[in-house]
């Protein structure tokens, strides 16, 4: 299983360092063999030691240059970071990233051998239209994306389940993952209100290769409860 923690705009450098140290110790103690990834905010990226992968929540598709407010490959390589999250719904919806911009980022980081966690997800009004509408909406988010890359992980995160406390149902996850799996060969994560109380049933769903977690990843105890579930 793959367990990925997306801190979003939470934690500082100091609290992230404490988190990583605690996580490394706890994973060691529990002899965790699953894959664990952590995406701290850009200011807290560093070369942390532990049996987990540290990735960037976002980066600009350039090595370096005049892109005020962004970070590029140069800033990631300082810490040996070779994993990046692309296409998160918060970047699509709040930061206005179009499919074209996302595909450009994807191609750029793919060509530099980055591991990419590529996120897709539908809004509630699409979910309410039924499975066919959901499939069309999600598959459109693969436009310009090479879904057969070796270092690719896809994360299905229904927008209406993110941060709402209301996860998708086991049936919804199951049917959506089944549909997606007929189009991709990459591992497929589920994200959206994953927490200690629902982790068992979610990772038990056929076609779920892991989870991408926001809120419940912010405390080491809670994240470890997911990893060891």
Q: How far is the CB of 88 from ligand 13P (least distance, A)?
A: 6
125 bridge partner residues = none
Nearer CB in complex with ligand 13P: 61/214: 214
> By CB neighbour count within 10 A (0-12 exposed, 13-18 middle, 19+ buried), where does 70 fall?
middle
- Tell whether residue 6 is a contact of ligand 13P (CB under 6 A): yes
C-alpha to C-alpha distance for 71 and 145, rounded to whole angstroms: 22
C-alpha to C-alpha distance for 138 and 179, rounded to whole angstroms: 10
How many residues bind ligand 13P (CB under 6 A)? The answer is 14
Window 151-190: contact mask with ligand 13P (x via CB under 6 A): ------x----xx---------------------------
- Tell whether residue 103 is a contact of ligand 13P (CB under 6 A): no
Window 189-208: contact mask with ligand 13P (x via CB under 6 A): --xxxx--------------
Indicate the helix (H) or strand (E) that contains 210.
strand 210-213
C-alpha to C-alpha distance for 98 and 100, rounded to whole angstroms: 5
Q: Which positions lie near ligand 13P, rule CB under 6 A? A: 6, 88, 157, 162-163, 191-194, 212-216
């Amino acid at each position: 299983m793959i367990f990925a923690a997306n801190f979003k705009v939470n934690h500082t450098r100091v609290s992230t360092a404490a988190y990583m140290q605690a996580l490394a110790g706890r994973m060691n103690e529990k002899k965790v063999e699953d894959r664990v990834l952590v995406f701290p905010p850009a200011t807290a990226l560093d070369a942390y030691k532990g049996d987990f992968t540290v990735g960037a929540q976002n980066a600009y598709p350039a090595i370096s240059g005049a892109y005020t407010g962004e970070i590029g490959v140069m800033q990631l390589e300082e810490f040996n970071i070779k994993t990046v999250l692309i296409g998160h719904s918060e970047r699509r919806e709040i930061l206005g990233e179009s499919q074209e911009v996302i595909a450009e980022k994807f191609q750029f980081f793919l060509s530099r051998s980055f591991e990419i966690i590529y996120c897709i997800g539908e809004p509630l009004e699409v979910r309410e239209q039924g499975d066919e509408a959901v499939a069309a909406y999600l598959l459109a988010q693969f436009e310009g994306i090479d879904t057969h890359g070796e270092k690719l992980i896809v994360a299905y995160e229904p927008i209406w389940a993110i941060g709402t406390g209301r996860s998708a149902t086991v049936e919804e996850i199951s049917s959506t993952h089944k549909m997606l799996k007929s189009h991709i060969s990459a591992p497929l994560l589920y994200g959206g209100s994953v927490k200690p109380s629902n982790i068992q049933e979610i990772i038990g769903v056929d076609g779920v290769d892991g989870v991408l977690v926001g809120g419940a990843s912010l405390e080491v105890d809670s994240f470890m409860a997911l990893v060891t579930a």
